[in-house]
Amino acid sequence: MPSSPTPSPTPEPSGVRRRSLLGAAAAAPVLASLAGAGSASAAPAASATATATAGPAGGPRALPGGGDLGPNVIVFDPSTANIQGRLDEIFKQQESAQFGTGRYALLFKPGTYSGLNAQLGFYTSIAGLGLSPDDTTINGDVTVDAGWFDGNATQNFWRSAENLALVPVSGTNRWAVSQAAPFRRMHVRGGLNLAPDGYGWASGGYIADSRIDGTVGPYSQQQWYTRDSSVGGWLNAVWNMVFSGVEGAPAQSFPEPPYTTLETTPVSREKPFLYLDGDEYRVFLPEKRTDARGVSWGNGTPRGTSLPLAQFYVAGPDDSAATLNQALEEGLHLLLTPGIYHLDRTVEVNRAGTVVLGLGYATLIPDNGVTALKVADVDGVRLAGFLVDAGPVNSSTLLEVGPEGASADHSANPTTVQDVFVRIGGAGPGKATTSLVVNSRHTIVDHTWVWRADHGDGVGWETNRADYGVVVNGDDVLITGLFVEHFNKYDVQWNGERGRTVFFQNEKAYDAPDQAAIQNGSIKGYAAYKVGDDVTEHEGWGLGSYCYYNVNPSIVQHHGFAAPNRSGVRFHGLLVVSLGGNGQYECVINDTGSPTSGTDTVPSKVVQYP
């Protein structure tokens, strides 16, 4: 395999080189065996009638609900002229804008569209506006490829597809992504290819509530998580493929092939979404499902409730944190239209049932060391579809679900955190001691990528210092689709009881200068996933940790996972990988599991622990 990627279109920032090595050795034999196998083009920006309805105390609201969705929400209908031209224009702008400021939501009204290829670049979301994916059919493709990075898809982040039916031109749609690129509520009337053209490297992704009639071909994908879906077949696995509640999923077979399969998902509640009811925009709130299997929309209208847009404050990037808080205090929900929001104080969600929904990767930046958003210990808050980007002044936390010591029972109506992503550095200097803290009981975190940047601007062991990625203190928390990478200490620290994780992907920090920098008392390195010493019950399925100490390849990491050695703490399908021999693991979990060795990028696996 090559020691580095072919040159990228722009100068390679510090730290890019290592992502290109991901899984090349592991993927090579698999690939060898499979080788044969708002303008004139768009409708006007969406709007809804603004209303000044009653606030929570019965008096008039000072802020209106509803309103215009802004210039970067572009709505198409089947009669729109030159849709392809507008799609191509946005893609050209966003294709390689990994740390740019552009944010777009491309929305398609119900109907049938033909001859389209919607290529998605960074910070671009595409979605249908029906209640069911089949309400909006594209005879064509929604494509993610990696031409901008010479066929390497390991940096295809921050883009999404939702609520559409696709009839791919070739019979197979290409969706070559890595982290923070959800594929939700999609119906592919054909196959789905998760690798870039040429079968270059790709580093994991997420499918939920989707139906793929044909076969899913991961090819070079190192890992993937699929939840509550239906597939016509699944072609192969490289390191770690995890399924829960998926009709047609491969049978449980970890360690070889590395499929971890749960018949159902313990608890799930699909992400809120914007749709059209006639000419009125509404937000649908899917109901909670227990032991779910298959899509939520299979028999027509999904189960749940909806809210008119008039009950939302439609925010724009010029809105201050004070305005957002005022809207919340007046009883409105928040719809964050695409853009970058600078916050000089914390956005505080204190009312049960509040929805904060972002479009087009709306991005929250705390400018002065505050926490970007906090949720009270209340029922049924839904956070979805936005990015939190650390500011240059250190924040003690970036996102808090529940205050310290939260103890209320939310089992009947949990808070959900879905497609909410966190970044420290990359777009510029950023610091945070802890990124995401979950204190409220029964919280469901469904697909997150919490990332201390390893490339881009403002990157260095101390420059974008971030000790902890995700800290879970609340009991009975479930995380489905957990991606956490590169933190200076523990990537995940789980202190709550009865926690569960279905799928975990991790890379340890690449830029540690020496062994002393990561020393954890007498232990070599901080585990990627640490269960607190006092925890008596915990369970995880399909968890992987990788090391690539490119600054100092001699560094040794004792283990990827650390947990109390007791019967109630159980893991299924664990692996650690040294990428090209840049650092090594001595064990997989605690003192169990074979060490990694050499430069062959071969995983060391533990099927069950204890």
Catalytic positions: 507
d(CA 166, CA 300): 17
CB 337 within 8 A of CB 314: yes
CB 476 within 8 A of CB 441: yes
Q: How far is CA 139 from CA 150, 173, 293, 312, 416, in A?
A: 28, 11, 28, 33, 33
CB 220 within 8 A of CB 241: no
DSSP E strands, 120-263: 124-128, 136-143, 159-162, 165-166, 172-174, 182-184, 187-188, 191-193, 206-208, 211-217, 223-234, 240-247, 259-262
Query: Beta strand pairing status for 304-308 and 280-286?
Result: antiparallel
Q: Is 567 left (phi over 0), alpha (psi -120 to 50) or beta?
A: alpha
Query: Across the chain, how many H-helices and E-strands are there?
Result: 5, 43
Closest CA to 285 of 304, 310, 311, 302: 304
Amino acid sitting at position 207: I
Give the tokens for residue 468: 């902890």
- Any idea of the CA torsion for 189, 192, 198, 201, to the nearest 10 degrees? 160
d(CA 399, CA 416): 13
CA within 13 Å, CB half, 111: 13
DSSP E strands, 520-593: 529-531, 538-547, 556-557, 561-562, 569-578, 584-585
CA-angle at 478, arms to 510 and 452, nearest 5°: 20
Query: Beta strand pairing status for 333-336 and 355-366?
Result: parallel
Intra-chain end-to-end CA distance of the chain, in Å: 36
CB 22 within 8 A of CB 154: yes
Closest CA to 469 of 483, 480, 455: 483
